Amino acid sequence: MLLQMQAAAGAPPLESMEPVVLRKAFSEQSKMTAAPPAEMSRVEERQIPGDETDIPVRIYRPITDSEGLLPVLVFYHGGGWVICDLDTHDDVCRSLAAEGECIVVSVDYRLAPEHRYPAAVDDAWAALLWVAENSTSIGADSERIAVGGDSAGGNLAAVVTNMARNQGGPELAAQLLIYPVVDIARMDRDSHLKFGNDYGLTLSGMEWFRDLYLGPDQDAKDPHVSPIYAGEFSGLPPTIVMTAEADVLCDEGEAYAQDLINAGVHVEHTSYDGMVHGFVSMAGIIDVGMQARKDAGAALKKFFA
């Protein structure tokens, strides 16, 4: 259905559009594909301190019988580090808060090309540190923190998870990686070739995002860019990996899951048959998208327990 909609709309290739125009287009598309928003106990907008500028965040508290501190998921939205924002992923965050029975802190990190790497990583890390240091002020339990994200947001979640392990904290209960970007140095895996055209996110589109994010002088194999090159994966927290069968990023997500398994990390990997990149954000028109949100929430609850 989604691919038919895109074809009927005559959508031009991503790489043919200016980022500011593409952002507006995706903002409108997200409204058409979003699920009905789950009701929250409270939604709060804040500005938190970053290294160079304040970072907008949106904090979701679910409706729950608990009056104590809740676990918290720090969430980074997808969009190739170039597009999307708090609003495009609002319904996703509401679902994760409701299904995971946790607070969700959605992070509006700086976007490329106006702010190239490492701006997004810096903001993602600053947000995690802020949540860890200010957890009680938002009603969260500092001993039950997870990070997560979809696509480029999954990349940021994987990167800050490795950073937390390497720097001795914050200790994380889990990481949630939804069709994550973990290797932008290599674009020749089977899924890149098999699903690189006509399945939503294209190979050329992914290369365009990469180039806007990195610029000409950065190393795509830097583990803070492509976490699959971290080299050491032991000691990482329980990891939830979700991949889509007909997704250009499918194989790298599966490879990352296997690398973590080989290192002794507890990994729960689910591959969603027939799904394309971005399906979790399209739960308003793709039923499996909502099921994946429920799956993610159930896994988070287990690791938060």
Out of 135, 277, 281, 295, the active site residue is 277
Out of 95, 106, 151, 191, the active site residue is 151
Residue 247 appears among annotated catalytic residues: yes
Q: Could you tell me if residue 2 is inside a domain?
A: no
Residue 123 appears among annotated catalytic residues: no
Mean pLDDT to the nearest integer, 50-63: 97
Mean pLDDT to the nearest integer, 74-103: 99
Q: Could you tell me if residue 84 is inside a domain?
A: yes
Mean pLDDT to the nearest integer, 235-250: 98
Out of 247, 251, 281, 295, the active site residue is 247
> For residues 240 and 211, is the Cβ–Cβ distance under 8 A?
no
Omega before residue 36 within 30° of 0, cis: no
Q: What pLDDT, on a 0 to 100 scale, did the predictor assign at position 10?
A: 54
Residue 30 appears among annotated catalytic residues: no
- Residue 174: CATH number of its domain: 3.40.50.1820
For residue 200, what is the DSSP state?
Answer: S
> For residues 229 and 257, is the Cβ–Cβ distance under 8 A?
no
Tell me, letter by letter, the H, E, C secondary structure of 161-185: HHHHHHCCCCCCCEEEEECCCCCCC
User: Could you give the number of structural domains in the chain?
Assistant: 1
Q: Could you tell me if residue 4 is inside a domain?
A: no
For residue range 174-225, what is the model confidence (pLDDT) as tens digits? 999 999 999 999 999 999 999 999 889 999 999 999 999 999 889 999 999 9
> For residues 271 and 179, is the Cβ–Cβ distance under 8 A?
no
The answer, yes or no, to whether residue 2 has pLDDT greater than 50, is no
Q: Could you tell me if residue 7 is inside a domain?
A: no
Q: What pLDDT, on a 0 to 100 scale, did the predictor assign at position 127?
A: 99
Q: What pLDDT, on a 0 to 100 scale, did the predictor assign at position 22?
A: 96
Q: What pLDDT, on a 0 to 100 scale, did the predictor assign at position 3?
A: 45
The answer, yes or no, to whether residue 8 has pLDDT greater than 60, is no
For residue range 159-179, what is the model confidence (pLDDT) as tens digits? 999 999 999 999 999 999 999
Whole domain around residue 122: which residue ranges?
A: 13-304
Q: Could you tell me if residue 182 is inside a domain?
A: yes
